[in-house]
Amino acid sequence: MTGPRPRLALVLLSLLYAANFVDRQMTAVLAQPIKQELGLSDQQLGLLTGLFFAIFYTTAGIPVARIAERRSRVAVIAVSVALWSAMTALSGLARNYTHLLLARLGVGIGEAGYAPAAQSLIADLFPHERRATALAIFSLGIPAGMLIGAIAGGWLAQSLGWRMAFIMLGLPGLLLALLVAVTLREPVRGNHDMAPLIEREPLGEVLRALFRSRAFVHMAAGASIVSVAGYGLTSFGVPILVRTFDLPLAQAATGYGLIAGVSIGLGMGLGGWLSDRLRSPGMVAAGGAITAAILFPVVLNASDPRLFGLLAILPLAGAHMYFGPTYGVTVNTVGPGARATAIAVLLMAMNAIGLGLGPWGVGLLSDHFAAAALPGYAATCHGGPVMDVCRLASAYGLKRALQLDVLLYFWGAGHFLLAARALTRVRLPKAGS
């Protein structure tokens, strides 16, 4: 086989995905000091981390994926890493909400090109029966990035300020982009596939192949819906700890990073492994989502931060078991010349709906419930919950918003179960055959 050694390439691509999520989640980790300095509402924070970012992320995703279908995926990856890293560093120079918003839009454009190209490359490194596991391992970059970003971002912000945290965590990505260009090599497209390779399938054909598959449609719908809940939770994970338990930012971010990083990584790895082993991606994803829906309300009612963290491990793991199964179904639905585009379509749905609506919806509800708990909340607490009465009102509002948010896991589980049914029908022989 020509190209990179599969395992080494997978490790490098997973590390880059971790760097991707370090940069992507920085506004969520640093939300509280940004809110206080720039005088923002939770709705504005949600728009910053969610909807506005998602618009540019999803808009750029398919065009860049189409480039990756006919050009070097390695080059697409290197340029993407360099762009999102530079824009993350520029976020630290923002002087107002508009400046920060523009920098985060640049991060979204840069990150749009990475995952489709990387996952298309991985699909050419590993055979059909090992792809869900490989893609789940790749997805471990998400919790690794969350862990590193939360801990490093929290401590840097508390020690040097939130602006310096952006700069110091963004600049190393430029070196990673250089490492990609020097070390990573392009594998042969369709290396492990029996079907003839079409170098670049027409977009219409790719879309028809995807949406003819009931399994893909329901897996994508389920993943998009649970992404609304997941992004809503993770975007306000550090603020809920700061507000509810009055923790210092570094302590809250460290606790959040450790619990979320380990739990989400466990869920992603377990989801991919079970999907390959049980040959039932829909059932695996549904089981995880139902676990999250049942247990997250218990977590949100915890009265102690240590109990909060301990109780969060199982539902966080369950909430992220859908990644490997969903990516596996997606890349196996189309041919090797269409996988980057297929992943881009999936990510467009997941991020337009999940990332676009989750943080914004939770922020909007949080402001509403906080205002209901404390009349004159916006005027009294403008610029962030500094006074104790403001902190308590904002904690109450955010808790109520998240309690509604996690109910979406039940809805997502329903689609995963329908996908399992569709996959079972595909595998059953026709009557009389």
pLDDT in tens, 293-307: 999 999 999 999 999
| Nearest residue to 380 via CA among 9, 41, 74 | 41
| Nearest residue to 260 via CA among 28, 9, 3 | 28
186 φψ region: left (φ > 0), alpha (ψ -120 to 50), beta (else)? beta
pLDDT of 184 above 60: yes
For residue 140, report the phi and psi dihedrals to the nearest 5 degrees: -65, -15
Q: CATH no. for residue 259?
A: 1.20.1250.20
| Mean pLDDT (the chain, rounded) | 87
**What's the domain count of the chain?**
1
Would you place residue 432 in the very low, low, confident or very high pLDDT band (cuts 50, 70, 90)? Answer: very low
> Could you tell me the end-to-end alpha-carbon distance of the chain, in angstroms, rounded to an integer?
38
pLDDT, tens digit, for every residue of 149-160?
999 999 999 999
Predicted pLDDT of residue 67: 81
On the 0-12 / 13-18 / 19+ scale of CB atoms within 10 A, 337 is buried
pLDDT, tens digit, for every residue of 40-90?
889 898 888 888 888 888 888 778 878 877 788 889 999 999 999 999 999
Residue 218 inside a domain? The answer is yes
Q: By mean pLDDT, which of 162-171, 189-198, 307-316 is the weakest?
A: 189-198
Residue 58 inside a domain? The answer is yes
For residue 406, report the phi and psi dihedrals to the nearest 5 degrees: -70, -15
CB atoms within 10 A of CB 1: 11
Task: Supply 394's token pair.
Answer: 């904002």
pLDDT of 3 above 60: no
Residue 264 inside a domain? The answer is yes
State how far the Cα of 222 lies from the Cα of 228, in Å rounded to an integer: 10
Selected residue with higher pLDDT from 309 and 203: 309
Fill in the amino acid letter for 390: C
State how far the Cα of 332 lies from the Cα of 279, in Å rounded to an integer: 13
CB atoms within 10 A of CB 318: 26
In the block, tokens 């199964």 appear at: 325
Residue 433 inside a domain? The answer is no
Q: Which domain holds residue 109?
A: 6-188+198-427
Rounded to an integer, the average pLDDT of 111-116 is 84
Residue 410 inside a domain? The answer is yes
pLDDT, tens digit, for every residue of 320-334?
999 989 988 998 888
pLDDT of 430 above 80: no
Residue 1 inside a domain? The answer is no
Would you place residue 183 in the very low, low, confident or very high pLDDT band (cuts 50, 70, 90)? Answer: confident
Predicted pLDDT of residue 190: 61
3-state secondary structure (DSSP) of residue 1 = coil
Q: Please give the distance of CA 262 from its chain centroid, rounded to a whole number.
A: 15
Predicted pLDDT of residue 297: 96
Residue 331 inside a domain? The answer is yes
Predicted pLDDT of residue 429: 41
Task: Supply 126's token pair.
Answer: 């590993």
Residue 360 inside a domain? The answer is yes
